[in-house]
Amino acid sequence: MSNPYPEIYLVRHGETEWSASGKHTGRTDIPLTPKGEAAARGVADRLKDLSFQAVWSSPSQRAFSTCTLAGFGATAVKKPDLQEWDYGAYEGVKTKEILVQRPGWQLFRDGCPDGESAADVGARADRIIAGLRAIEGNVLVFSSSHFLRVLAARWLGLPPEGGAHFVLDTASLSILGYKHDLSEPVIRRWNQK
């Protein structure tokens, strides 16, 4: 049964050296690994035969390279609001290292010193959602894990901190949509490889 309502396809970027090692990668602009490039090319197969009214990408090299390798770079529009969480002082640092200095720290609850809070990221997600809902048709979005998790939470009407309950692997595909009508936003698929 086909869905009569628009769907938002979310693609997390392919693997980078930092994502593979668990380092927080917000605004540091690092490339995909060869494995990440291969996975990005594989996204094309999962999206074949689909059409999109719009294709949006984070301006980060890792997201836009994923978009390009998946075959959508020529039509993509870079949206600054799709950038990953600004980790501030925790940029390039692993969670286990942060916990040594700050026991009990949780990104979605505590945010980052000299970076963004969940509310800050949620405000950017809300602007993206307003743009998505103004488009009549399917949209393809390329971005990073923590931002997309907040976007999903806000799509459902949850607080930005609700993104803590979603996990995204590199080069994964998720779909936001609607159930009975446009007043019922849902997650149709999540974290598919």
What is the DSSP pairing of strand 185-192 with strand 139-143? unpaired
Catalytic residues: 13, 84
What span, in angstroms and rounded, lies between the C-alpha atoms of 175 and 155? 11
What is the DSSP pairing of strand 173-178 with strand 139-143? unpaired
Q: Residue 66 carries which side chain, given as an amino acid letter? A: T
Q: Burial, 171: exposed, middle or buried (Cβ in 10 Å; 0-12, 13-18, 19+)?
A: buried
- Evaluated on CA atoms 93, 94, 95, 99, the torsion sign reads negative
